Amino acid sequence: MKKDPYHLTYENGAYRQDELIKVIRGALPHFALTPEEYERLKMDDDVDEMYRLAFSRISKAKKDKKGDYGELLLFLILKTFYGADRLVTKVKLRSSVKDQIKGFDCAHFVVNESDEVELWLGEVKFYKSFSSALDDVVEEIERHTQGEYLKDEFSILCPNIEVNGELPVSEKIIEMLDGTVSLDDVRIVIPALITYETALFKGFSRLDEAFRAGMLKQVTDKFNLIDRRSITKKLNIEVFFILLPLADVGSIKDKLEAMEAVFV
């Protein structure tokens, strides 16, 4: 099982956690708007409407129940580090702004080195507790990879795909989603992002060898816990975990909520 850890850096002796707020704000229109919407508003130079529309798609659930910003982080990680392009803008599909995104938390795709199209259907737990996040994400992965659940998910994704300019790729994806290709032959990758809170960052002021050793031990322990979990899935489904430790998850969510209040 593939496992990748990420962390932030220090600046002037402080862990750069607050930089995430700026990154999330800057990326929000790319996450919440379709490519067509983004390009139209960019051409109109209507930044205010761009952000108003983007924020209007963020769930109005309470911050401890809202997963949208975790999904945005996964969106950025998949695009930046794995070259996974978005298949569908899922926040646009929710039936109510009070609801969370139904089904998988994101829908991306990758054309791998063998020229095969892989559907990357992500799961996110933007939590303080690693153990709670792991329990919940494993449960969701097993539930969401059942045959009928996948078929329902595909039926929602198919009419909403946003793949333009790559006709052979879009045709392959449509055949995967509309049932032309057997579900057993669709290659599915499930990146599962888990955030968690750790006090490790408070004991350092820079990324020195002691920090690296402490972080290595911590993420190794977390990945050992993941390895002990047996996830029931079919052979055509690959699961890999992405860990993002944070110094203070509650502080990040408070600041995101304050930022949101300015635009909503």
Q: What is the pLDDT along the chain (264 residues), one digit of tens a residue?
A: 788 999 999 999 999 998 999 999 999 999 999 999 999 999 998 899 999 999 988 888 777 777 899 999 999 999 999 999 999 999 988 766 666 677 899 999 999 989 899 999 999 999 999 999 999 999 999 999 998 999 999 999 999 999 766 668 889 999 999 999 999 999 999 999 999 999 999 989 999 999 999 999 999 999 999 999 989 888 899 999 999 999 999 999 999 988 888 776
Q: What is the pLDDT of residue 51?
A: 93
Distance CA 25, CA 120 (A): 24
Q: What is the pLDDT of residue 106?
A: 94
Q: What are phi and psi of 118, to 5 degrees?
A: -110, 135
Q: CA-CA distances (angstroms) from residue 260 to 21, 50, 106, 256, 257?
A: 11, 14, 21, 6, 5
| Helix extents (H) in 107-208 | 130-144, 147-157, 167-177
What pTM value is reported for the model? 0.93
End-to-end CA distance of the chain: 41
Q: What is the pLDDT of residue 188?
A: 97
Q: What is the pLDDT of residue 7?
A: 92
* Alpha-carbon dihedral sign for residues 44, 19, 24, 237: positive
Q: What is the pLDDT of residue 96?
A: 65
Distance CA 243, CA 107 (A): 19
